[in-house]
Chain A
Amino acid sequence: MKVFLCRLISYLLVFSLAGMSFTTQAALIGTHEVVQQASAQSDRERVRDLVARADVQQALQAYGVSPQTAQERVDALTDMEVQEMAGKLGTLPAGASGTGETILLALLLVVVIYIILQYVYK
């Protein structure tokens, strides 16, 4: 896994370095650059984003998503979402259930805590 990640990062670095010419290209300025009033994204930031994306993709796979699907899912996330998710897939809220049993379980918890509190304050 780690070897794969390191290799992935090296490929990405090579590609991004190769893609960067030493002079800036004439181009359309992206809409996001206008909204964020960004300085032209520095090379370091670009690499950081690529690494974060690779990290989240790896993590999705570790949590049971197939490699192809993980790629597609990460591609649809914004840079900010990727940054928020990186390293936190295990702890972020994951909406899951809503059946009656869950409500009952939660209710039971409340009752139990109430009873405990009664004892504590007696």
Chain B
Amino acid sequence: MKARWLAGLFFLGLLALGGCAGLAPQTFAIKDQPPADMPLRAELSSIPFFPQEDYYCGPAALASALNAAGARVTIEKLIEQVYLPGRKGSLQSEMLAAARRHGMVAYVLDPDLFQLLREVAAGTPVIALENYGLSWFPLWHYSVLVGYDLARREAIRHSGPKPREAIPLGLYENLWLREGRWAMVVVPPERVPATASERRYAEAVIALEKAGQTRNAHVAYAALVKRWPASLAGLMGVGNTAHALHDLSTAETAFRQAVAAHPDSAPAYNNLAQTLLDRGKFDDALMAAQRAVALGGPLLATARATLEEIRRKQATVTRAR
């Protein structure tokens, strides 16, 4: 109760310093009419709360989000992975990287308040970077959004020592927009965030793959393809990760789908050729490789090398007969 009064007072203080609408433009915009395409309220009651000790809001927020996504992680482990002692806090990129290390897709949301709320409505808590201070005297903080109520114009979040703290939505928006409107979600690989775009989700899965999480990335690429069936990145990702996991049959299927959907993609033909070669299907491999070379493009050298290798292998097999 006290916190709400304090927060309200703080907000009034902000209002006194400058105009009204500019402080929380999106909240102000729905003052008379909430958006029609989303539920009026939502609350995620099962998001675990990890009380935060001094300076550890990053690990605490991540612990909530990661455990909610299904990863059993302790705050202690996350402190080691994300806390920067010399800065007494956690950097945004390291928050994303730490989520990846636990096999989850870390996705940065669009800088739009309602996209944050939509994620909550879809069941995903949102970690937001807030600034309690001023641009020249910042006081950064991570909180976990677990609910909202558009009729009462409230945001409900886990923050610091307080679970499910309700604050005015305008205040939440203001604290969040001060540091570039940055917010992230953590999702298990089989789920695509509700507000995700194809390109940026593909980038998030690629980041997961590059962090060495091949199996989880494979699942995430499959989810990508399920949501965007013609996605070249998705199909290539499924194929590449399957290949890395020595599942050549799945890899071949994925690359065949890729060339069917993208007949002018030299990389897709190249990777199909390589996979067919690995499966001993030399004639098909040769055809695919020749197609890749014919299509040209910036990765022509690789396609040529693949073609050469197929020819070499074919010659070896012929000689052996």
CA distance A45 to B36 in the complex (A): 48
Chain B residues whose C-beta falls within 8 Å of the C-beta of A39 in the assembled complex: 298
- Whether A107 pairs with B6 at a CB distance below 8 angstroms is yes
B264 CB within 8 Å of chain A: no
A46 CB within 8 Å of chain B: no
Contact A40 B139, CB 8 Å, known A76-B100, A98-B160: no
Within 2-52 of A, Cβ neighbours of B (below 8 Å) are at 23-35, 37-40
Q: Which of B91, B130, B199, B212 contacts A35 (CB 8 A)?
A: B199
- Whether A109 pairs with B133 at a CB distance below 8 angstroms is yes
- Whether B10 pairs with A107 at a CB distance below 8 angstroms is yes
- Whether B93 pairs with A85 at a CB distance below 8 angstroms is yes
Contact A29 B55, CB 8 Å, known A60-B84, A100-B6: no
Give the shortest distance, in Å, between B61 (CB) and chain A (any CB).
Answer: 8
Q: Which of A33, A77, A104 contacts B6 (CB 8 A)?
A: A104
What is the total number of residues of chain A having a CB less than 8 Å from a CB of chain B? Answer: 55
A43-73 interface bits toward B, Cβ cutoff 8 Å, 1 = contact, 0 = none:
0000000000000000010111100010011
Give the shortest distance, in Å, between A83 (CB) and chain B (any CB).
Answer: 10
B1-31 interface bits toward A, Cβ cutoff 8 Å, 1 = contact, 0 = none:
0010011011001101100000000000000
- Whether A94 pairs with B17 at a CB distance below 8 angstroms is no
A interface residue numbers (CB < 8 A to B) = 23-35, 37-40, 60, 62-65, 69, 72-73, 75-78, 81, 84-85, 89-90, 92-100, 102-107, 109-111, 113-114, 117
B interface residue numbers (CB < 8 A to A) = 3, 6-7, 9-10, 13-14, 16-17, 52, 54-55, 57-58, 61, 80-81, 84-98, 100-101, 129-134, 137-143, 159-161, 179, 199, 202-203, 206-207, 209-212, 221, 232-233, 236-237, 240, 243, 265, 267-268, 270-271, 274-275, 298-299, 301-302, 304-306, 308-309
